[in-house]
C-alpha cells in the first residue's frame, strides 16, 4: 500500500473512531482510496505499522483529500504520529462555495447520485470481526471522495 500511495498524485482518507467509555477515544479503522483502489486498514491490528505511511502523508506533491478533517487530523497525529502536508477538505470547500449543506451525504447525492448510508456512523468500530456491511459503509466514505474533489476544484 505504501508504494501505491507514494506513486499517487492524490488519495482520499477517512477514519472511524471510538470514544464510548473512553476519555480521548482511539482510531479503529482507516480508509484510503486512490483512483484505482480502496484500502481498509485495521488500525487496531496494525497500529505498530501505521508509521510506514508517514512519507506518503507528508509528501507535499501528494494531495490528501478528507471530508471534515478537523478531528481526523488530530487523531492521526495523536494515535499514529502521522502529520498531513497538502490537504484538501471537501467539507471546508462546500462551506466556501456556500452549498446548502456541507455534509458528505449531500455531496454524494449532488455529484455522484449516491445515497449515503449513515447506519454505522455511531457503530462500535472496536468490534472484530467487522461485518461486511460495516466494511462497505467504511469503504464508501472515501470511494467517491476523489471524484467529489475533482468536481469542487
Cβ proximity of 8 and 62 under 8 Å? yes
Q: Which domain holds residue 112?
A: 2-148
23 in any annotated domain = yes
Q: Identify the CATH number of the domain in which residue 88 sits.
A: 3.30.420.10
pLDDT digits (tens, 9 = 90+) for 66-104: 999 999 999 999 999 999 999 999 999 999 999 999 999
Total domains, the chain:
1
153 in any annotated domain = no
Q: Which residues contact 34 (CB under 8 A, 6 or more apart)?
A: 4, 5, 8, 11, 12, 146
pLDDT digits (tens, 9 = 90+) for 8-63: 999 999 999 987 666 678 899 999 999 999 999 999 999 999 999 999 999 999 99
- Read off the pTM: 0.94
Largest interatomic CA distance in the chain: 41
pLDDT digits (tens, 9 = 90+) for 119-133: 787 789 999 999 999
Amino acid at each position: 500500500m505504501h508504494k501505491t500511495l507514494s506513486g499517487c498524485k492524490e488519495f482520499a482518507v477517512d477514519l472511524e473512531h471510538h470514544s464510548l467509555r473512553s476519555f480521548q477515544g482511539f482510531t479503529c479503522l482507516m480508509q484510503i482510496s486512490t483512483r484505482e483502489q480502496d484500502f481498509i486498514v485495521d488500525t487496531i491490528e496494525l497500529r505498530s505499522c501505521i508509521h510506514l505511511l508517514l512519507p506518503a502523508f507528508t509528501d507535499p506533491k501528494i494531495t490528501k483529500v478528507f471530508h471534515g478533517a478537523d478531528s481526523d487530523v488530530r487523531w492521526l497525529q495523536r494515535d499514529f504520529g502521522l502529520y498531513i502536508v497538502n490537504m484538501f477538505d471537501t467539507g471546508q470547500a462546500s462551506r466556501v462555495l456556500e452549498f446548502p449543506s456541507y455534509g458528505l451525504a449531500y455531496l454524494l447525492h449532488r455529484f455522484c447520485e449516491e445515497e449515503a448510508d449513515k447506519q454505522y456512523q455511531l457503530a462500535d468500530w472496536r468490534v472484530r470481526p467487522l461485518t461486511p456491511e460495516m466494511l462497505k459503509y467504511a469503504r464508501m466514505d472515501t470511494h467517491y471522495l476523489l471524484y467529489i474533489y475533482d468536481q469542487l476544484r
